[in-house]
Chain A
Amino acid sequence: MFGLKSASLFGDTKKLEREIDEFVDIVSEVGLVFKSIVPTYLNYSANGKFEEMVEKVKEMESKADKITKDVEHTLYEETLIPDARSDVLRVLEHLDEVIGMYQGNCYHFSIQKPNFPKEFHDDLIDLTETVVNCVEALCLTVRSFFRNIKSVRDNAHKVTFYEKESDIKFSSLARKIFDSNLSLDQKMHLRYFVEKIDRICDQAEDISDEIQIYAIKRSV
């Protein structure tokens, strides 16, 4: 009635809420798969199980892309949350980039097949776990931005904590690699992989910083 279309307004709202929740679930799930991919690669190299996991990440990435587009269209077509629309879309786009970074790492492992000596395995797995924990904390920050603005700060603080942890672990591993007896080209190749995994945390911290600003804007 009167152009407000209240029934469809609440219907669209529920659908979008579900889609956004589903999107954040995907970010979290991709992280969990990535956490298993790295040890699988280190132990069995790029075998069938590894490729199966990479394929799963690819599928989840496509699904996330579709959701982002759907949410974007609905938000603009129905002129929903006009005051926070651009902020919400930016958060979703940047989260999509995190999925892209996970996927990129998987592809690089699959194509370049880096040869990590056994002595670096634990450190690499440890770094990967910290990165995934950082993204998990980011997912909590995103969820609190949508539902409970008061806890954005607490969750964003965890992201910063894991990002610092990741930096320390990256530096330590990179130092170990360059102190080893490997050839320079191999050292640089391994450093490239370690750096690329660590970068996911930098991206997560940038997003959580942005969300904190958006949360201040959203306060009543």
Chain B
Amino acid sequence: MELTIIIFLLGGLFLGWSLGANDAANVFGTAVGTRMVQFKTAAIVCSIFVILGAIISGSGTTETLGKLGSINALPGAFAACIAAGLSVYIMTKSGLPVSTTQAIVGAIIGWNLYTGSSTNIQVLITILGTWVLCPIIAGLLSMLFFVITKNFLQKAKLHILRLDAYTRTALLLAGAFGAYSLGANNIANVMGVFVPISPFTDINILNDFNFSSKEQLFLLGGIAIAVGVFTYSKKVMFTVGNDLLKMSPVAAFIVVLAHSIVLFLFASQGISNFLQSINLPSIPLVPVSSSQAVVGGVIGIGLLKGGKEVQWTIARKISLGWVLLPILAALISFIILFVLQNIFNLAVNY
């Protein structure tokens, strides 16, 4: 493989690393931060399930991003990744809870605008609608789970120690499911733009098992996420566990479960096909924000408790991010593409 291809792929791997460093905390932050689960345990489980989710169920969301704009040159994909990474960095520095999902969509639109490719407005509207739905559904789900769990615990009268043991196990299982869903839903952000121009070729093992070039890309992206989890997420997990989400371990489990279901719903081809088969509207397979699903879940529980603890400023910041981040990412993408094409003489589209 040429060195330039590796350099261009580094853009996606960087995004994967930052996803692992930041979003693993949404899945295991409270569990590790409150010392219910050891970091080593969380990191191993998280890495394995992120990679599995990416390879097994990562196609759906990638296809949707592909419909929005199919970047057809490696330098173009590289520019989109760098633009997404930079814009997330800038917005995070400004204190807005944003995600790579919003950034990569903006960056793809930036590429469309720069190269004169058309943007599929219908797909764009679907994606935007999903971003709004994601925290709302997470909030509703966590409210539902909260009521069920509270009633169950009142009836079950578990000893505090037994509840602790069950909660640890539940946090670990919900975390594994969350990591799988994160990999399935968010791998599109990391590797989606490289799929149409994958430098890999399909590998056939014993004529039975086909390891496609897309799956190889997803494995690479999954490994990048895992590296992010191991190298940097510990700090973020302790911040999330101790500062942002000051809640009981049981409530944390509910939030992680609601978050994981939402991410899974928007990534599962199986559920989408099933709904279609019974004449219900299918769920769009769109990469959504893991952080915003968690915030939605936390707000849901806060509302059930009377709404006093709900930090509405965070909700406002999220909606601001939906608009500002894609615009910023599109702008940066536009500038990088201009630089790559005019200063480095690289073809950013064909």
Interface residues of A (CB under 8 A from B): 2-4, 6, 9-10, 13-14, 16-17, 20, 79-84, 88, 145-148, 150, 218-220
Contacts and interface: CB of A to CB of B under 8 A. Distances in A.
A88 B163 CA distance: 14
B248 A220 contact: yes
A84 B168 CA distance: 14
B203 interface: no
B158 interface: yes
22 contacts: A2-B45, A3-B40, A4-B169, A10-B165, A13-B162, A13-B164, A14-B162, A17-B159, A80-B161, A81-B160, A81-B161, A82-B34, A82-B36, A83-B34, A84-B160, A84-B164, A146-B160, A147-B157, A147-B158, A218-B248, A219-B248, A220-B153
A155 to B, nearest CB: 14
Contact of A220 (B35, B149, B157, B165): B149
A2 B161 contact: no
A2 B45 CA distance: 8
Report whether over half of chain B's contact residues are helix, strand or loop; otherwise say mixed.
helix
B44 interface: yes
> How many residues of B sit at the interface, in one of the four size bands?
20 to 34
B154 interface: yes
Contacts of B337: none
B317 to A, nearest CB: 27
A6 B158 CA distance: 18
A220 B251 contact: yes
Interface string B120-155: 000000000000000000000000001001100110
A151 to B, nearest CB: 9
Nearest to A1: B41
Interface in B246-272: 248-251
B37 interface: yes
B118 interface: no
Contacts of B92: none
B172 interface: yes
Interface core residue of A2, A9, A17, A147 (most chain B CB under 10 Å): A2
Contacts of B154: 150
B210 interface: no
A150 B250 CA distance: 16
Given A88-B160, A148-B157, A83 B248 contact: yes
Given A147-B157, A220-B149, A220-B153, A9 B168 contact: yes
B231 interface: no
A220 B249 CA distance: 8
Contacts of A10: 165
B157 to A, nearest CB: 5
B41 A9 contact: no
Contacts of A84: 160, 164
B94 to A, nearest CB: 32
A148 B155 CA distance: 9
Most A-side CB within 10 Å, residue of B34, B37, B44, B165: B165
A13 B36 CA distance: 14
A6 B161 contact: no
Contacts of A16: 161
Given A81-B164, A82-B36, 12 more contacts: A3-B41, A4-B37, A4-B38, A4-B168, A13-B161, A13-B164, A16-B161, A80-B165, A83-B34, A146-B160, A146-B161, A220-B251
A79 B35 contact: yes
B172 to A, nearest CB: 7
A3 B44 CA distance: 10
B41 A4 contact: yes
A83 B44 contact: no
A20 B159 CA distance: 10
Contacts of B40: 2-3
Contacts of A3: 38, 40-41
Nearest to A144: B157
Contact of B146 (A6, A147, A220): A220
Contacts of B150: 220
Select the residue from A4, A83, A220 with max chain B CB neighbours within 10 A. A220
A77 B150 CA distance: 29
B325 to A, nearest CB: 34
Interface string B41-82: 100110000000000000000000000000000000000000
Contacts of A17: 159, 161-162
Q: Which 8 A-B pairs have the closest CB atoms?
A: A2-B41, A82-B35, A81-B164, A148-B157, A3-B38, A13-B165, A13-B161, A3-B41
Nearest to A16: B161
Contacts of A145: 160
